[in-house]
């Protein structure tokens, strides 16, 4: 009997890339291919690249080289943001044929991979800035996950001075609501319990439609579904969270009290240089508005340190703002030069050691914020989606509605089920609890 053809896929970067790679996997499996680890020898390799930082570009090149070493005879498929903005660099990596597929043509990737034709760069990369419709990608399963992502939107119109994404992803393009509902229905049939609405700029969902609609319209539409799914929304810009949106989310039993906001800097001068569209005062008001309506909400923050021109006072302005706000956790990124962006040409680039020191200071603050937030809920009972015991504690781990990761003793059979867990203690950012009710009687979701 003829052996199955094999494919290996690696994904760098954002949740949108993860959704798109899951779509590739679904389609390859539908064609009868076996998906194998990227370290294995495979007939086809897919590298879904990232270009958000110079380091991400280097990692993308590294994975392409690894695929070529694993099997010089393989068909190499390179897609994603690095392929889109640095196609010539990819082609110069080797004499072997490399198939480049731009972000606007990801829906064609599997067909191209299975074709016997030579790849044509001009056909498969294209001018992403002219793309006006979202690529039609569907996913059956996210392998090994209890939480699935739905890409409801692609592209960005903001052009922040440090960011290459608008050049790599093009303008805002949204998935029609009926297609969103179809993908939700697919994931529900597959047994998922929690879905995350994601995109490059989710808050601009629907602004490209005629007539236009809003993310809030989509939230209301989803909230009307009769299901026991939990929903989360990926990153939203501070000014996109309106009082009306908060009112809808606070009343919802399906959308979780969990927000992720990109602050980037707490200094108004640096925010202006970044081409961000809000002030520190507006950001503070957004966070305070969330907590006023949803006191138990988790609020995660993206923050960048060491942007060109960030002096000590500007950094302290960021640190002090974060210290005073009732936030839950920080994702800290030292500024990384990205060729092709406006920030690359700015004056005042900082030494690596300064950026590392500032990042370390904010990561210490992250530790304190997480511990304080988690500790507030000691002794309370939370509705938890059990995920897996594959962790260093060998205990079941799951997330509460407000995104507290809790470890607790439970049989493997409760994985992908809602259980009731009492939070008992917090040790070095790790939360431990006791399961007090099993999967039966799933009334409330958090």
305 with 355, same domain?
yes
395 with 343, same domain?
no
> In the β-sheet with 298-305, what is the strand arrangement from edge to edge?
258-264, 298-305, 329-334
- What CATH number is associated with residue 385? 2.40.50.140
Q: Are strands 258-264 and 34-35 parallel, antiparallel or unpaired?
A: unpaired
pLDDT the model gives residue 442:
44
Q: Whole domain around residue 386: which residue ranges?
A: 381-437
Q: Which of 357, 376, 395 is the last residue of a domain?
A: 376
Confirm whether 405 is domain-assigned: yes
Q: Are strands 430-437 and 418-427 parallel, antiparallel or unpaired?
A: antiparallel
15 with 116, same domain?
yes
28 with 122, same domain?
yes
3 state DSSP class of 219: helix
Q: Which of 113, 128, 143 is the last residue of a domain?
A: 128
* Domains held by the chain: number: 3
17 with 115, same domain?
yes
Report the run of H or E that residue 396 belongs to, with start and end: strand 396-400
Q: Which residues contact 110 (CB under 8 A, 6 or more apart)?
A: 24, 27, 28, 31
106 with 32, same domain?
yes
* C-alpha to C-alpha distances, 210 to 68, 171, 205, nearest whole angstrom: 45, 15, 12
44 with 100, same domain?
yes
Q: According to the 3-state scheme, what is the secondary structure of 260-317? A: EEEEECCCHHHHHHHCCCCCHHHHHHHHHHHHHHCCCCEEEEEEEECCCCCCHHHHHH
97 with 25, same domain?
yes
54 with 118, same domain?
yes
d(CA 56, CA 265): 22
17 with 59, same domain?
yes
For each of the chain's 446 residues, which pLDDT tens digit applies? Answer: 457 899 999 999 888 888 899 999 999 999 999 999 999 999 999 999 998 877 888 899 999 999 999 998 899 999 999 888 887 888 778 666 788 888 888 888 999 999 888 775 544 656 656 666 666 677 777 666 678 999 999 888 999 999 888 888 888 999 999 999 999 999 999 899 999 999 989 999 999 999 999 999 999 999 998 888 999 999 999 999 999 999 999 999 999 999 999 999 999 999 999 999 999 999 999 999 999 999 999 999 999 999 999 999 999 999 999 999 999 999 999 998 888 899 999 999 999 999 999 999 999 999 999 999 999 999 999 999 999 999 999 999 999 999 999 999 999 999 999 999 999 999 988 999 999 998 864 433 44
| Phi, then psi, of 78 in degrees rounded to 5 | -120, 125
Confirm whether 422 is domain-assigned: yes
Full-model pTM: 0.85
355 with 389, same domain?
no
Give the DSSP letter of residue 326: -
Confirm whether 227 is domain-assigned: no
312 with 334, same domain?
yes
Two tokens, residue 37: 């680890």
Confirm whether 351 is domain-assigned: yes
Pair 131, 200: CB distance under 8 Å: no
């Amino acid at each position: 009997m003829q052996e199955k053809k094999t494919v290996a896929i690696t994904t760098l970067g954002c949740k949108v890339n993860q959704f798109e790679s899951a779509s590739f996997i679904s389609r390859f499996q539908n064609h009868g291919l076996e998906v194998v680890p990227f370290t294995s020898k495979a007939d086809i390799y897919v590298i879904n690249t990232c270009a958000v930082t110079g380091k991400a570009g280097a990692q993308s090149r590294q994975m392409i080289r690894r695929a070529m070493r694993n099997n010089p005879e393989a068909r190499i498929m390179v897609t994603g943001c690095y392929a889109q903005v640095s196609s010539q660099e990819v082609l110069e990596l080797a004499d072997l044929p490399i198939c480049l597929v731009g972000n606007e043509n990801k829906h064609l990737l599997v067909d191209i991979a299975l074709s016997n034709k030579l790849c044509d760069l001009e056909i498969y990369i294209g001018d992403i800035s002219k793309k006006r419709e979202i690529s039609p990608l569907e996913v059956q399963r996210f392998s090994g996950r209890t939480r699935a992502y739905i890409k409801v939107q692609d592209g960005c119109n903001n052009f922040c001075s440090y960011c290459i994404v608008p050049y790599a992803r093009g303008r805002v393009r949204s998935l029609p609501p009926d297609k969103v509902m179809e993908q939700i229905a697919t994931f529900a049939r597959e047994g998922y319990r929690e879905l995350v609405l994601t995109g490059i700029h989710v808050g601009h969902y629907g602004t490209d439609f005629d007539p236009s609609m809003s993310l809030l319209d989509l939230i209301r539409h989803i909230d009307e579904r009769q299901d026991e799914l939990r929903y989360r929304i990926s990153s939203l810009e501070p000014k996109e969270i309106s009082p009306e949106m908060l009112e809808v989310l606070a009343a919802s039993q399906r959308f979780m009290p969990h927000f992720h906001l990109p602050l980037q800097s707490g200094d108004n001068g640096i925010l202006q240089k970044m081409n961000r569209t809000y002030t520190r005062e507006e950001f503070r008001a957004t966070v305070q508005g969330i907590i006023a309506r949803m006191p138990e909400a988790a609020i995660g923050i993206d923050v960048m340190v060491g942007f060109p021109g960030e002096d000590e006072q500007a950094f302290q302005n960021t640190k002090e703002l974060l210290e005073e706000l009732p936030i839950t956790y920080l994702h800290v990124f030292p500024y990384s030069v990205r060729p092709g962006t406006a920030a690359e040409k700015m004056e005042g680039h900082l030494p690596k050691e300064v950026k590392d020191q500032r990042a370390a200071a904010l990561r210490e603050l992250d530790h304190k914020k997480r511990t304080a937030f988690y500790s507030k809920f000691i002794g309370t009972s939370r509705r938890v989606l059990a995920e897996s015991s594959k962790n260093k504690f060998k205990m079941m781990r799951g997330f509460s509605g407000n995104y507290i990761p809790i470890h607790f003793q439970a049989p493997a059979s409760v994985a992908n089920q809602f259980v009731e867990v009492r939070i008992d203690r917090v040790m070095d950012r790790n939360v431990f609890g006791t399961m007090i009710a099993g999967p039966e009687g799933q009334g409330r979701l958090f």
